[in-house]
């Protein structure tokens, strides 16, 4: 019935968010406020690290989708805040059809009222809104100036939109103010595109360059952690490219401006690509850029911007050998540059040379613990295609002994299984890990890599033998989770010990972990036929922690 009323169910939210975000969303049910049901959507505010705006779209028969302005949500994910709003809607499912019908009625009534207004009445309404809403007034002023080709007014409005000062409290644009500034930059980009479309492409070129200079300077003094300002600035750069393609400015002047912008002190945002301008620059402009870039690189051989610009121009010329020579001047110790050379040669159809460069990278970086994994993968793929499975195993073995990581162990296992020699390789690998464990060299989590490897192999008997005195809490919990059906008594001991230490921390994450441990303990008691003992333990625990009302809510939700 819930699905029919609200258009979705809890399973839909879990499928969209994933188990982790869904579980975290459960802890935000009390943080949802301002829930408003529209004809086809629901909006609300969820209070977390900040106050986040959430919008869920309720499609008739098409399920549900969601948007949130938190960093994770802006990446296109159905986040924990979306889950919290969705669950709140489900709690009020009985009222949803009535509220959606009321929203439809309001929309229909508004449209009918607007349609009935005369031209003068509509103008009066718009003027009233313009007097109240400065943002709307700015937008319409800009549209009007663009429509009548008032270049002076367009310039004033565009520069006003990208002016960072109204957003820079204390001289710095803070994280919370960046989205508002980004919105104005996007409006400026739209105005520049409209100016080009309206026959003012030459003016749009100059105005866009002025805007890009202001944006590059402003970007040094802001927190754009979510990249919203950078994305909006990229739209201004795109408007500049479009204007150049229409106006066809002097190639030499454009080349000099591009080099000056890309190598200037404020060249961080937006990141211009000279290849976007190749059509406008033509051979003469590209040649001028090559000349300027070469001079700049001679002045600062190690400069990142100078090297990047030169790489772009060499790529544009299509000379693979020159590009390889350029890359070879600065080989990174991780092997990343060797890989780039190999990829360029392979794209040019020179597979043998590509493999030779990749193998050289492995030799040059053999002693590095943090070699670029893509380089190793690249060589292994080529070896596998050639049927050189023994070479794949040897390479993965060498990297495992240098890196000593779970990822390297898994890669060795996969290669050895494909070559049908994992049994022997595993004995040698585990022997190395045992020797490492005896030297008390832990993994990045604190426990030994040996236990991680045994757990990953599913060798629980060996993992239990090695865990004492070596495993960290996360490894103990994983071992208990994997063993509660086959070793319920031993797993129970682990769960109870971890639960005892988990009683002290507070907060949603800590309470969810404690509940998870208690659920594991309950499963062990059921397997042992001692459920009454668990019930007595749980009653004592709830009595001890009864003042933590949020914890009690979490336990109840998990049936504890």
The whole-number pLDDT of residue 445 equals 40
Average pLDDT in the chain: 87
Which residues, in sequence order, are CB contacts of 552 under 8 Å at separation 6+?
542, 545, 546
**Predicted confidence (pLDDT) per residue in 303-343, tens digit:** 888 888 888 888 877 889 988 988 888 888 889 999 999 99
Average pLDDT over residues 525-534: 93
Identify the pLDDT of residue 74: 76
Q: Does residue 63 carry a pLDDT above 80? A: no
Highest mean pLDDT among 171-180, 381-390, 447-456: 381-390
Share of the chain above pLDDT 70, in %: 96
Residue-wise pLDDT tens digits, 7-25? 788 888 998 998 888 988 9
Which of the four pLDDT bands, split at 50, 70 and 90, describes residue 54? very high
The per-residue pLDDT for 442 is 47
132, pLDDT greater than 70: yes
pLDDT of residue 2: 46
Q: HSE, CB side, 13 Å, CA atoms: give it for residue 380.
A: 20
> Is residue 210 a contact partner of residue 159, using CB atoms and an 8 Å limit?
yes
Looking at the chain, the whole-number percentage of residues with pLDDT higher than 90 is: 39
pLDDT band at 280 (very low <50, low <70, confident <90, very high): very high
- Region 229-254: mean pLDDT is 93
At 440 the pLDDT is 60
Please report the pLDDT score of residue 268 as a whole number: 61
The DSSP secondary-structure symbol of 49 reads S
pLDDT the model gives residue 197: 86
State residue 62's pLDDT score: 63
What is the spatial distance between Cα 186 and Cα 231, in angstroms, rounded to a whole number? 9
Q: What CA–CA distance (Å, rounded) separates 250 from 254?
A: 6
Q: pLDDT value at position 3?
A: 47
Query: What are the tens digits of pLDDT across the range 187-221?
Result: 899 889 988 988 889 999 999 999 999 998 888 88
CA distance 541 to 292: 73
More confident residue, 262 or 442: 262
Confidence of residue 44 (pLDDT cuts 50, 70, 90): very high
What is the value of pTM for the model shown? 0.59
On the question of pLDDT at 97 being above 90, the answer is: no
Q: How far is CA 344 from CA 319, 322, 339, in A?
A: 10, 11, 9
Distance CA 372, CA 137 (A): 53
Model confidence band, residue 5 (pLDDT cutoffs 50, 70, 90): low
Residue-level pLDDT at 269 = 67
Decide if pLDDT at 240 tops 80: yes
- Give the C-alpha distances (Å, rounded to integers) separating 525 from 56, 249, 533, 534, 538: 42, 79, 8, 6, 12
Does residue 427 have a cis peptide bond before it, meaning omega lies within 30 degrees of 0? no
């Amino acid at each position: 019935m819930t699905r029919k009323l609200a258009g979705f169910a809890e399973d839909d939210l879990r499928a969209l968010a994933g188990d982790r975000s869904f579980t975290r969303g459960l802890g935000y049910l009390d943080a949802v406020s301002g829930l408003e049901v529209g004809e086809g959507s629901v909006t609300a505010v969820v209070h977390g690290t900040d106050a986040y705006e959430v919008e869920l779209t309720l499609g008739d028969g098409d399920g549900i989708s969601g948007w949130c302005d938190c960093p994770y949500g802006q990446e296109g994910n159905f986040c924990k805040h979306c889950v919290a709003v969705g669950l709140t809607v489900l709690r009020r499912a009985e009222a949803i059809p009535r509220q959606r019908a009321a929203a439809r009625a309001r929309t229909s009534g508004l449209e009918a009222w607007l349609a009935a207004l005369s031209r003068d009445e509509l103008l009066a309404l718009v003027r009233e809104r313009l007097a109240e809403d400065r943002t709307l007034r700015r937008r319409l002023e800009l549209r009007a100036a663009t429509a009548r080709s008032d270049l002076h007014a367009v310039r004033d409005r565009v520069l006003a939109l990208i002016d960072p000062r109204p957003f820079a409290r204390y001289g710095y644009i803070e994280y919370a103010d960046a989205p508002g500034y980004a919105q104005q930059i996007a409006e400026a980009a739209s105005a520049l595109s409209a100016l080009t479309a309206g026959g003012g492409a030459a003016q749009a070129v100059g105005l866009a360059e002025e805007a890009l200079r202001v944006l590059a300077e402003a970007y040094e003094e802001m927190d754009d952690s979510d990249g919203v300002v950078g994305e909006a600035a990229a739209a201004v750069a795109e408007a500049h490219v479009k204007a150049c393609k229409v106006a066809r400015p002097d190639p030499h002047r454009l080349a000099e401006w591009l080099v000056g912008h890309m190598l200037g002190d404020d060249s961080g945002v937006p990141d211009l690509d000279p290849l976007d301008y190749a059509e406008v620059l033509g051979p003469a402009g590209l040649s001028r850029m090559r000349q300027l870039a070469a001079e700049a690189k001679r002045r600062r051989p190690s400069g990142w911007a100078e090297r990047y610009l030169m790489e772009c121009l060499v790529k544009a010329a299509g000379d693979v050998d020159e590009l390889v020579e350029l890359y070879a001047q600065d080989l990174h110790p991780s092997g990343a540059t060797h890989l780039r050379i190999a990829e360029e040669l392979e794209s040019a159809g020179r597979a043998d040379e590509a493999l030779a460069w990749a193998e050289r990278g492995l030799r040059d970086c053999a002693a590095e613990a943090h070699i670029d994994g893509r380089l190793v993968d690249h060589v292994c793929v080529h070896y596998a295609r050639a049927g050189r499975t023994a070479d794949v195993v040897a390479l993965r073995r060498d990297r495992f002994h240098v890196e000593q990581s779970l990822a390297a162990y898994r890669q060795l296992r996969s290669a050895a299984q494909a070559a049908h020699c994992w049994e022997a390789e595993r004995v040698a690998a585990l022997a190395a890990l045992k020797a490492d464990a005896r030297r008390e060299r832990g993994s990045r989590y604190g426990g030994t890599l040996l236990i991680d490897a045994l757990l990953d192999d599913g060798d629980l008997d060996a993992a239990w033998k090695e865990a004492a005195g070596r495993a960290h809490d996360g490894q103990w919990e994983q071992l208990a989770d994997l063993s509660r059906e086959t070793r319920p008594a031993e797993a129970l001991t682990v769960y109870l010990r971890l639960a005892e230490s988990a009683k002290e921390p507070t907060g949603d994450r800590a309470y969810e972990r404690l509940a998870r441990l208690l659920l594991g303990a309950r499963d062990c008691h059921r397997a042992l036929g001692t459920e009454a003992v668990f019930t007595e333990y749980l009653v004592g625990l709830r009595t001890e922690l009864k003042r933590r009302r949020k914890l009690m809510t979490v336990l109840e939700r998990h049936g504890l």
